[in-house]
């Protein structure tokens, strides 16, 4: 049995959980999120905690129920605290700025790169080289941060590009004469 799956999801103060069949909704100070639990997993509220168990003893159900527990934990964490990913731009002439709901980046190409921010995510450019992506949906925050990083990932020779805050980039040695 899974150690993660056995652990119930605790509902903190100020968060209301609604378990209706396979639909789980969480409402907190940051907003509201919902998720549909897979049919092979049973979910119920007991003493202010959300408890998960596999419906059958099949291998598929045993693999799924810890995943569903983690997804519900993430929506509880999201409506309570929210999630944030920080990016940093390194390199001469590489910079970013916000124009309304669009982030405009000069990344060393012949054109500027524009990316429209999706609904539910907030992007802030602190100075021209620091970008903060935040929101209540962990998957969406990570996806937007990965998309922005994907426009110019760090290259291994000089380390120029967009990287996560604190990310280590393996450096290569250049050509020798």
Residue that finishes a domain, picked among 80, 103, 124: 80
> Are 62 and 117 in a shared domain?
no
- Both structure tokens of 37: 């639990």
3-class secondary structure, 61: helix
Residue that finishes a domain, picked among 48, 80, 112: 80
Provide the Cα torsion 156, 160, 164, 165; round to 10°. Answer: 110
> Are 47 and 64 in a shared domain?
yes
**Maximum pairwise Cα distance, the chain:** 71
CA angle 154, 74, 169 (to 5 degrees): 15
Q: What is the pLDDT of residues 39-56, one digit of tens each?
A: 999 999 988 899 999 999
Residue 130 lies in a domain: yes
Residue that finishes a domain, picked among 80, 109, 124: 80
Phi, psi of 5 (to 5 degrees): -65, -35
> Are 139 and 90 in a shared domain?
yes
> Are 45 and 24 in a shared domain?
yes
> Are 136 and 151 in a shared domain?
yes
pLDDT category at 117 given cuts 50, 70, 90 is: very high
Which structural domain, as residue segments, surrounds residue 41?
Answer: 3-80
Number of domains in the chain: 2
Name, in order, each residue with C-beta under 8 angstroms of 77's C-beta and a sequence gap of 6 or more.
83, 138
76 burial via Cβ count (<10 Å: 0-12, 13-18, 19+): buried
Write down the pTM of the prediction: 0.89
How far is Cα 112 from Cα 135, in angstroms, rounded to an integer? 25
How far is Cα 105 from Cα 151, in angstroms, rounded to an integer? 9
- Asked if 101 and 60 touch (Cβ cutoff 8 Å), the reply is no
When computed from its CA atoms, the radius of gyration of the chain, rounded to whole angstroms, is 21
Q: What is the pLDDT of residues 62-94, one digit of tens each?
A: 999 999 999 999 999 999 999 999 999 999 999
> Are 34 and 87 in a shared domain?
no
Q: What is the pLDDT of residues 118-130, one digit of tens each?
A: 999 999 999 999 9
Name, in order, each residue with C-beta under 8 angstroms of 14's C-beta and a sequence gap of 6 or more.
28, 29, 80
């Amino acid at each position: 049995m899974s150690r993660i799956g056995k652990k119930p999801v605790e509902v903190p103060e100020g968060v209301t959980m609604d378990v209706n069949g396979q639909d789980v909704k969480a409402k907190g100070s940051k907003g509201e999120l919902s998720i549909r639990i897979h049919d092979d997993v049973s979910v119920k509220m007991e003493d202010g905690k959300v408890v998960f168990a596999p419906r059958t003893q099949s291998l598929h159900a045993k693999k799924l129920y810890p995943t569903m527990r983690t997804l519900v934990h993430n929506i509880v964490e999201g409506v309570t605290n929210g999630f944030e990913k920080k990016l940093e731009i390194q390199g001469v002439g590489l910079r970013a700025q916000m124009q309304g709901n669009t982030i405009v980046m000069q990344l060393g190409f012949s054109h500027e790169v524009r990316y429209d921010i999706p609904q539910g995510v907030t992007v802030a450019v602190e100075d021209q080289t620091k970008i903060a992506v935040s929101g209540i949906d962990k998957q969406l925050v990570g996806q937007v941060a990965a998309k922005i990083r994907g426009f110019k990932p760090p290259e291994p020779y000089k380390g120029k590009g967009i990287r996560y805050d604190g990310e280590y980039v393996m450096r290569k040695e250049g050509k020798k004469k």
